[in-house]
Amino acid sequence: MFSRLISLATKTFSTTGMDPSHYRSAMTSASQQPEIATFAAGCFWGVEHIFLKHYPPSENKGILKTAVGYIGGKELSVKPSYEEVCTGTTDHAEALRIEFDPSVVTYDELVEFFYRTHDPTTLDRQGADIGTQYRSAIFTHSAEQESIAKRVTEEVQAKHFTPKGKKIITEILHAGPWYDAEEYHQLYLFKVPHGYQCETHRLHW
């Protein structure tokens, strides 16, 4: 967390040279009703960055737009600030909310990519980032998503983690209230390319 705060304190938030439209669909052009996927996998800067790097909306790969924010917190903790979430007292997880076109990219594929791009075997941490806000979790928006998430988790466990003697501890939970993070967090690593990025946010297979 401290390295992230240092990054925030020392970086400017100029978007010079960055075209936000590359990472946002100008219009929702899904041939089916768009769906929402919500994932927590540590520092949301890196989670958003790696999903958009591999599924840029401008290339029509299925992700239409994203937002980073907070989910899974205490019922009485409404619209928490970044600083409040960092204390761990609100119980919120830093998370990525994805609007996607299921006719182009399936929920199954997004869940598998989620597992592929972080370490789901560490409790309340990713790399050097430690705290409940950095936990690994899938927040589902329907019974179908819950079923898919559980199935893909079992498949990924058997293929990638059981042979290593490791156990996925990712939570699979019904999505509760979502709160967008402050604007400076949105697309952070596209605005500040040399900003802090957790070491686990990479392709693991």
3-state secondary structure the chain: CHHHHHHHHHCCCCCCCCCHHHHCCCCCCCCCCCEEEEEEECCHHHHHHHHHHHCCHHHCCCEEEEEEEEECCCCCCCCCCHHHHHHCCCCCEEEEEEEECCCCCCHHHHHHHHHHCCCCCCCCEECCEECHHHCEEEEECCHHHHHHHHHHHHHHHHHHHHHHCCCCCCEEEECCCEEECCHHHCCHHHHCCCCCCCCCCCCCC
Spot the catalytic one: 41, 43, 85, 156.
43
Does the annotation count 43 as an active-site position? yes
Q: Catalytic amino acids? A: 43
